[in-house]
């Protein structure tokens, strides 16, 4: 489809929600209208695409939403869209509504689906990286990550207060099934004694040795930040293993869970999401397709969906070194 044939763009959010998604939707809608396009909001991600649950959005439709967490279009993971039958229904719904192109806001699962769908039906699609995990290849930072690490930091600070009051060892689990970016940054920011992440093998004996050394130095408390995808298990399992060898210390576990997904997005996330949403519309107008809009060194970057889903952002070794040196 030639880019100058695009008249209607559909926008949706898919997968796990991330603070800043609303700001991105707002930017897509208002920039699309600015360029003379009609923008349709698709509810519940790929499920809404299959069901035809979509409607045109006007500028006032997205007023007063950018400061809110979550996504006003709602989100979902769709098993039906993984099938050819489901994607065929989705394409038929787009044809009924006359939608020419799509903006998909989500993570790698969202982009895998978009890549297959675009190739099967020759639909221009661009993606906006919306995930708190910050693990997408092709951008320095994803929408929602800054808010998530600040939420985790504040929660760990609060836990540290009570840990010091009772001279306790706390294991705090943060989100990160496949990536340790939240754990690493929030751990550094809160002065954690150790950070356990999926990208680095955990040695329980070394961890215990570190905690014993700190205990001998009369530390009033200790915090260990654990990414949920750590190879030794989640915070509860690791706490049990440590407790077997470190019996003289009172141990508690705290799972931060979904509080990291919610809340009002930070200034950084709002500005990033707005920039990426605008660039997504401009990319479609200029003829780009099957790419994720990212930001690398403060410049807009376009990364093919194949690369965003086959590669993952790498942990900065300097951050790992900081944990070791600053304990």
Catalytic residues: 133
Q: What Rg, from alpha-carbon coordinates, does the chain have?
A: 22
Q: For 38, list phi and psi in degrees, rounded to 5.
A: -100, 130
Give the CA diameter of the chain: 71
64: three-class secondary structure by DSSP: coil
- Cβ contacts of 213 within 8 Å, gap of 6 or more: none
- Cβ contacts of 109 within 8 Å, gap of 6 or more: 14, 15, 77
Residue 254's closest CA among 147, 157, 174, 143? 174
219: three-class secondary structure by DSSP: coil
| DSSP-assigned states of every residue in 283-308 | HHHTT--SEEEEEETTEEEEEEHHHH
Between the two ends of the chain, the Cα-to-Cα distance in Å is 56
| DSSP-assigned states of every residue in 146-184 | HHHHHHHHHHHHHHHHHHHHHT-EEEEEES-SS--HHHH
Q: Residue 235 belongs to what H/E stretch?
A: helix 235-245
Q: What's the CA gap between 132 and 155, in Å, rounded? A: 16
Q: What's the CA gap between 307 and 141, in Å, rounded? A: 16
Query: Is residue 138 within 8 Å of residue 308, measured between CB atoms?
Result: yes
Place of tokens 């750590």: 230
Give the CA distances from residue 2 to residues 7, 99, 116, in Å, rounded to whole numbers and listed in that order: 11, 14, 19
What the block records as the tokens of 6 is: 């695009």
């Amino acid at each position: 489809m030639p880019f100058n044939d695009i008249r209607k763009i559909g926008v949706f959010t898919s997968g796990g929600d991330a603070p800043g998604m609303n700001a991105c939707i707002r930017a897509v809608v208002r920039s699309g209208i600015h360029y003379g396009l009609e923008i349709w909001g698709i509810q519940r991600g790929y499920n809404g695409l299959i069901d035809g649950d979509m409607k045109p959005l006007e500028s006032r439709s997205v007023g007063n939403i950018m400061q809110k967490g979550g996504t006003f279009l709602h989100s979902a993971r769709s098993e039906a869209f993984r099938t050819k039958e489901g994607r065929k229904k989705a394409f038929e719904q787009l044809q009924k509504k006359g939608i020419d192109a799509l903006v998909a806001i989500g993570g790698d699962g969202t982009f895998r689906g978009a890549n297959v769908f675009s190739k099967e039906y020759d639909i221009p699609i661009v993606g906006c990286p919306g995930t708190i995990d910050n693990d997408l290849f092709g951008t320095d930072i994803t929408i929602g990550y800054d808010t998530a690490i600040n939420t985790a930091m504040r929660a760990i600070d609060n836990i540290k207060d009570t840990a010091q009051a009772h001279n306790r060892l706390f294991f705090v689990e943060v989100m990160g099934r496949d990536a340790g970016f939240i754990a690493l940054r929030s751990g550094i920011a809160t002065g954690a004694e150790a950070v356990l992440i999926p990208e680095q093998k955990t040695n329980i004996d070394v961890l215990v040795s570190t905690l014993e050394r700190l205990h001998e130095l009369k530390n009033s408390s200790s915090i260990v930040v654990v990414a949920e995808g750590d190879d030794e298990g989640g915070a509860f399992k690791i706490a049990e293993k440590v407790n077997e060898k470190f019996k003289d210390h009172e141990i508690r576990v705290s799972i931060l869970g979904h509080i990291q997904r919610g809340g009002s997005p930070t200034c950084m996330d709002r500005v990033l999401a707005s920039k990426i949403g605008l660039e997504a519309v401009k990319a479609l107008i200029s003829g780009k397709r099957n790419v994720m809009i990212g930001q690398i060194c403060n410049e807009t970057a376009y990364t093919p969906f194949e690369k965003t889903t086959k590669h993952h952002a790498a942990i900065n070794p300097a951050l790992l070194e900081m944990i070791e040196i600053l304990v």
